[in-house]
Structure 1
Amino acid sequence: MKQIILVRHGKSSWEYDVSDKDRPLKQRGINDAHLVSKAFAQKAIHLDHCFSSSANRALHTSMIFTRNLGFNLDNFLISEKLYDFSGNSVREFVKDLDDNLETIMLFGHNYAFTTLANTWGDQYIDNVPTSGLVHIKFDVRQWAKIAKGSSETVIFPKHLKTK
């Protein structure tokens, strides 16, 4: 069985005159990433590997998650292929993964992650928000064969905030 946890980067700031890749997280993005990662940590799901887009906002989000999950950074990799907005590059990245990996976490971007959550999962999601997490299980043994799986967990910041 293969499992993917898709995490969209936290809310980023447009306050600085920097390239898209260099945009930092806003304080809300930092807070939401902590909130969602701590909620996901309660699920106690073992991760084999984590992969992040090279964009600053995705990397910062991934560091918050890995810290809160107590994840060993020896099993962490940054990939340019995850700096993708359509989903095509992410899909190819996943299909090329080592089949010895069972459960992975990806940190990346929209519209790629909403598209993939709907392509791979069985629960329609209008939009994966910033810091949103979607966990999908597949009843296959090879990454190249993933198609439709089951959406196991969906955690969005708004689910965790009290009004």
Structure 2
Amino acid sequence: MKRLILMRHAKSDWSGATSDHDRPLNARGRANATALGDWLRARMIAPDTVLCSTATRAAETLKGLALGPDTDLQFTRDLYLADPETILATLRGASGDTVVIIGHNPGIGTMAGMIVEPSDDGGITDYPTGATLVATFNAEDWADVKWRMGTMDQFVVPRDLPAPQQ
């Protein structure tokens, strides 16, 4: 059994004159990343591997999650503004039983809707900043994962989470 946590980076700061790749999180984004880390820990979801875009806002989202020291962190430019096929190809090369991918829309949101079995409620139609899907796969290896193979276990957006504890 494999578990995927598919996360869009938290809210970015549009006030500075930086390149898109170098745009940081804003204060709300940093708080949301911390809240998402708290949410994962409350559900005892501890990833083995993180595949993260090299964009500053994705790396800062990862930092806010405050994952354990044993997590294998892999930054890849391939996930920066990647399409669903590129994200899936990156996932297929992953190791570990629980993998987090931190990326960008529209690719990450589109992938979320394509990787899980369709649901009666219309599925995932919106993937705002910080949106996080947790899905499981009946697979021995990530290389075996295909579209519509996953089962959605949980889906959360930061606005539905309590503020992080200080």
TM-score by length of structure 2 reads 0.87
Letter in 2 for 1:125: I
Paired letter, 1:58: A
Tell whether the 8 Å contact from 1:36 to 1:132 is kept in structure 2 after alignment.
Answer: no
Secondary structure of the residue aligned to 1:107 is strand
Aligned partners of 2:144, 2:13: CA distance in 1, in Å?
Answer: 37
Q: Contact (CA 8 Å) 1:8, 1:109: kept in 2 or not?
A: yes
The equivalences for 1:121-140 within 5 A come to: 121-122=116-117, 123=119, 124-140=123-139
CA contact (8 A) 1:2 1:140 kept: yes
The question of whether the paired residues in 2 share the 8 Å contact of 1:50 and 1:105 is answered with yes
Match of 1:32, SS state, is helix
* Shift, 1:97, TM fit: 2.3
Could you say which residue in structure 1 is the equivalent of 2:142?
143
Q: State the match for 2:108 in structure 1.
A: 113
Structure 2, unmatched stretches of 5+, are: none
Q: Helix, strand or coil for the counterpart of 1:40?
A: helix
Report the counterpart of residue 6 of structure 1 in structure 2: 6
Amino acid at match of 1:156: V
User: Which piece of structure 1 moves more, 88-97 or 53-62?
Assistant: 88-97
For residues 73 and 46 of structure 1, the distance between their equivalents in structure 2, rounded to whole angstroms, comes to 10
| Higher share in helix | 1
Shift of 1:143: 1.2
Q: Name 1:96's counterpart in structure 2.
A: 93
- CA shift, 1:73, in A, is 5.8
Distance 2:7 2:115 in 1: 14
Matched letter for residue 25 of structure 1? L
Rounded Cα–Cα distance in structure 1 between residues aligned with 2:39 and 2:100: 15
> How high is the TM-score relative to the length of structure 1?
0.89
Structure 1 residues 55 and 152: alpha-carbon distance in aligned structure 2, compared to 1, 3 A threshold: same
Alignment check: 8 A CA contact 1:13 1:25 kept: yes
Displacement, 1:161? 5.0
AA aligned opposite 2:114: T
Deviations for 1:27-65, whole angstroms, at most 9, x for unmatched residues?
A: 111111112221221011232111210000000000111
1:65-84 equivalences under 5 Å are: 65=65, 67=66, 69=67, 71-72=68-69, 75-84=72-81
Percent identical pairs in the alignment equals 27
CA 1:12–1:102: 2 relative to 1, 3 Å? same
Q: Given that residues 8 and 131 in structure 1 are in contact (C-alpha distance below 8 angstroms), is that contact kept between their aligned partners in structure 2? A: yes
> How many Å apart are 1:20 and its aligned residue?
0.7
Aligned-residue RMSD, C-alpha: 1.7
Q: How many residue pairs are counted as aligned between the two chains?
A: 157
**Gap regions ≥5 residues in structure 1:** none
